[in-house]
Amino acid sequence: MHLQILQVYFSDMALCVAVVSKENAPKYVTSLNPEDELQIQYEIHSSIDFVEEKLKTGKKDMRDLYLGLLYSTEDHKIYGYVTNTKVKFFVVIDSSNLLLRDNEIRFMFRKLHTAYTDLMCNPFYIPGDYITSENFNKVARGILTGNS
């Protein structure tokens, strides 16, 4: 029985992926389970402050765009990544998911960042608009289901 539950975590990579603009406005969010979405969004919102904090107080040689673990609760771990243009990406995973290592999380952010820059280069996307792109959505959903 216990093994069966673990299997769920094997196939599910992340619980939520979100993009927040440089002005800290939400631009995209997608979650695996719609029922926790509100709670997770609240946690992401709270971790924006941790991002600002990390960027401000970070060592001068902190050049990495990946910020690592920002915040964790009993249920969730929230990871952050900030582009050079101050756009923030968040990936939330289940706290009991021990399979995802730092490298895998980094890889998720790289994929997200690539999809994001492609979107910014779409001439019909107006920067600042809420993200509705199918291509971007495909990549983000892939991160949730591990089928990317």
**Where does this chain bind another protein (CB under 8 A)?**
22, 60, 62-65, 82-86, 113-114, 116-125, 127, 133-135
Alpha-carbon gap, residue 56 to 137, rounded angstroms: 31
Toward another protein, which CB reaches closer, 104 or 118? 118
Rounded least distance, CB 74 to another protein, Å: 32
Q: Is the dihedral of CA 136, 33, 87, 109 positive or negative?
A: negative
Question: Who's near 51: CB < 8 A, 6+ residues apart?
Answer: 67, 70, 80, 82, 88
Rounded least distance, CB 24 to another protein, Å: 11
Alpha-carbon gap, residue 28 to 26, rounded angstroms: 6
Burial of 113 (0-12, 13-18, 19+ CB in 10 A): middle
Rounded least distance, CB 12 to another protein, Å: 27
CA distances from 135 to 1, 4, 32, 61, 122 (A): 37, 33, 18, 34, 11
Toward another protein, which CB reaches closer, 89 or 90? 89
Rounded least distance, CB 68 to another protein, Å: 14
Toward another protein, which CB reaches closer, 46 or 85? 85
Rounded least distance, CB 36 to another protein, Å: 30
Toward another protein, which CB reaches closer, 76 or 88? 88
Toward another protein, which CB reaches closer, 74 or 134? 134
